[in-house]
Structure 1
Amino acid sequence: MHKVTDLKVLYFGTPVVLIGSRNEDGSANLAPMSSAWWLGQTCVLGLGDSAQSAINLRREGECVLNLPSSAQVDAVDALALLSANPHLSETKRAQGYRYERHKFTAAGMTELPGDLVQAPRAAECPVQLECRLETATPLTGNTRCTAFEVSVIRAHIDEHLILPGTDHYIDPLGWDPLIMKFCEFFGNTHRLTPSRLAEGWNMPARLPTTP
């Protein structure tokens, strides 16, 4: 039997993306998000307008989508409640967010230059997609969020993920993406580690971690 309910969260499971972008002073920003989907060579990113990544993307018109595997869960979690925007709302402060400009250092990740964009790549991520911004569309009924459409113009892929005998396909058995479901981290169908984001957002589910 189904129950009619007003769900508070609709994150049924999407890959985590670390967006690399440039701040106004040229420093590197690295921010986790999971509202992303792909079709062909296009990706749509859902970002809050106050997020530093959204501000940078509008100004610079480019970014790098770094896709972590489940092995990078600790690095991603270290970034979960950090913001490169010094103007934090009271809501974010209450959730535990704090200002941090040095995101790569905080995550323990290595900054690499892009080939075709100025935005930074994260060396530890097995998939790094250089992108250019195509359009930015405010979400209907929510003036605080925007859907950014970006085109992938260059892909850097760990050679161990390339399907043997091909040059252009990912081995689905070798790729274990970090997945976020309802603010909790999953990889290979298992919950990986408690999430700071879930704690900050007061998510009720506190599930056991699978070794």
Structure 2
Amino acid sequence: MISPAHTRIEPGILYFGTPVVLISTSNEDGTPNLAPMSSAFWLGWRAVLGLGARSKTAQNMLRTGECVLNLPSDSLAGAVDRLALTTGSDPVPVFKQERGYRHVQDKFGRAGLTPAPAETVEAPLVAECPVVMEAVVEAVHPIAEDDGAQRGSIVAIEVRVQRVGVHDDIRTAGTTDRIDPDAWRPLIMSFQQLYGLGSQVRPSTLASIPERLYRGPDIERARTARHRRS
């Protein structure tokens, strides 16, 4: 078998496909902000979120120390797309103006989504999202500090999840804490386009490891989390 040769290219972005996250945070006046992003990955009950350091979401998270990570299904693609090219920042930063962004104060209203109270943070949940994760900020990691042109513009924010809520229709039947991957249909961003998942291509050998063996100490910490107002 002859493998095809690789051609050297220089794409402007390297977004090969990751789940969309709607991050809800609280503004200075107590109103909610809602922003779509896809630079996120999970390790146990922690997530690392790549954000513009001057974005309203990053500023809110650093000020309040909390957020909600809402995972939309592919059926919510329209709602997510209505948030495209909008920002909670007022005035709109120049670099965003150049890309066509405009200020929108009521992000939930713009998307047609419903805010719902969280248990442990001030920021609201997105009721329509099948998965919601309340989280607190644990660390901030500057990105590209070695490059003067990018220094201070990008951050990776490490958050610890302390509540997970799901719609019952994506749970594995007969279990209390398992998600059915055939029922959960995440919205995927790949090179600026929105996609859903295809069908499973083959069983995974990794799935032979019981999920319970991955449970870490952050889950125990999450059980004792209380609302900041209580």
Question: If the length of structure 2 is used for normalisation, what is the TM-score?
Answer: 0.80
State yes or no: 1:14 paired with 2:18: yes
Q: Supply the distance in 1 between the matched residues of 2:79 and 2:55 (Cα, whole angstroms).
A: 19
Q: Supply the distance in 1 between the matched residues of 2:78 and 2:178 (Cα, whole angstroms).
A: 28
Q: Which of 94, 103, 113 is the equivalent residue of 1:109?
A: 113
> If each structure's strand is expressed as a fraction of its own residues, which one has the higher value?
1
When Rg is computed on C-alpha atoms for both structures, the one with the higher figure is 2
Q: In structure 2, the residue corresponding to 1:138 is in which secondary structure?
A: strand
Q: In structure 2, the residue corresponding to 1:31 is in which secondary structure?
A: strand
Q: Which of 170, 186, 190 is the equivalent residue of 1:177?
A: 186
Equivalent position amino acid for 1:9 in 2: I
Q: Which of 126, 131, 134 is the equivalent residue of 2:138?
A: 134
What's the offset of the Cα at 1:5? 1.8
State yes or no: 1:88 paired with 2:97: no
Equivalent position amino acid for 1:94 in 2: E
Q: In structure 1, the residue corresponding to 2:82 is in which secondary structure?
A: helix
The percentage of counterpart residues that share the same residue type is 46
Deviation per residue, 1:9-58 (Å, 9 max, x gap): 10000000000100011000110000000010000000001110000000
What's the offset of the Cα at 1:172? 0.3
The equivalent residue for 1:119 is: 123
- Listed as ranges, the gaps of 5+ residues in structure 1 are 191-211
The equivalent residue for 1:186 is: 195
The equivalent residue for 2:163 is: 154
The equivalent residue for 1:196 is: none
Q: Give the alignment's Cα RMSD to 1 decimal.
A: 1.2
- Aligned pairs, how many? 190
Deviates more, 1:89-98 or 1:17-26: 89-98
What's the offset of the Cα at 1:91? 2.6
State yes or no: 1:74 paired with 2:78: yes
